[in-house]
Copies of this chain bind each other. A is one copy, B any other.
Amino acid sequence: MRLVEGRNTQATAMHPIRALCFDVFGTVVDWHGSVQAEVQRLGLPLGPEGASAFALSWRAGYAPAMQDVRSGALPWTDLDGLHRRILNRLLAERGIVLDEPTAADLNHVWHRLQPWPDSVAGLLQLKRHYAVTTLSNGHVALLVNMAKHAGLPWDTVLSAELFGHYKPDPEVYLGAAKLLGLPPQQVMMVACHPSDLRAAAACGLRTAYVPRPLERGPGGTMEACTPDEFDVVASDFIALATQLGAASEQE
C-alpha cells in the first residue's frame, strides 16, 4: 500500500489510505451526455438543445426530491422512484405522452450511463492498490447494472440505500467506512462535487477532487471551490492513480 503524497503527508503516513469511495453521477459517468443522447435516440421532439435542457432539468429535480426524503415528506424512495417522479413531470410539462414500457425504459437510462474516457482505465490502476467502491445515492441495483453496462471494475458497490440516508448525510460516509472495516481517515472520497467532499471531510474521510468540467455539458457551470480544501486534486482518474502511487509505470 503506497502513501499519499499530499499536503497532509504526516497525517496520511499515520493513516494510509486503504479504500477509495467514488461518487458516481458526474464523477465516474457522464449523465448529461448519456441522457441527452438517449432522449435524442428515442426521438423525443426536443432537438439537441432541448435534449440537453431535458437532461439538466431531470438532474435538477433530484436534489429537491432527495430533500423530500430527508425531511420525511417522502418515505425512503430509491433513485428509480425519484427519477420517475421527475420524469413524469418533465414529460407532462412538455406535453409528451410515452407508453408505459417506453417511459420505464427511459427512466432506466440512469442505469446505462457512459463512463468518462479515463474512468475504467483509472479504476483498474487504482484497484491494484486500493479497494475501490462506489459511494453513491444511486441504489445497489442501479449501480450494479451500471457497472455491468459500463465495465466499471468495482470491488464492491456501496450505496445510500444501505444506510437509509442520502448523501450528504453523515450516516452515508461513516457507514461506508464502517462496512469497509476502516477508520474514516483510511478512506478517501473521490468526487467532482466539492459539497460531497466537504461532507466527507467533516466525517473524517480524506478527499480527492476530480473536476469534471463537462458534467453539465459544454458551457455548464461547476460548484465553486478552492482546490486546497482537498487532500488531492487530479484532472482525471489516471492522474489520480499517478498521484496515489498506483499508476502502471510505478509497478
Contacts and interface: CB of A to CB of B under 8 A. Distances in A.
A148 interface: yes
Given A156-B154, A156-B157, A180 B140 contact: yes
A180 B144 contact: yes
A198 B95 CA distance: 51
Contacts of A80: 181
B148 A155 contact: yes
Nearest to A78: B181
Contacts of A148: 131, 155
A182 interface: yes
Contact of A162 (B131, B142, B162, B182): B162
A74 B125 CA distance: 41
A113 to B, nearest CB: 16
Can you tell how many copies of this chain the complex includes? Answer: 2
Nearest to A181: B141
A90 B133 CA distance: 36
A161 interface: yes
Interface string A84-119: 000000000000000000000000000000000000
A32 interface: no
A182 to B, nearest CB: 7
A167 interface: no
A178 to B, nearest CB: 9
A202 B250 CA distance: 51
A140 B177 CA distance: 11
B139 A144 contact: no
14 contacts: A80-B181, A131-B144, A133-B144, A140-B181, A141-B181, A141-B182, A142-B181, A143-B156, A144-B180, A147-B155, A154-B155, A154-B156, A156-B157, A157-B157
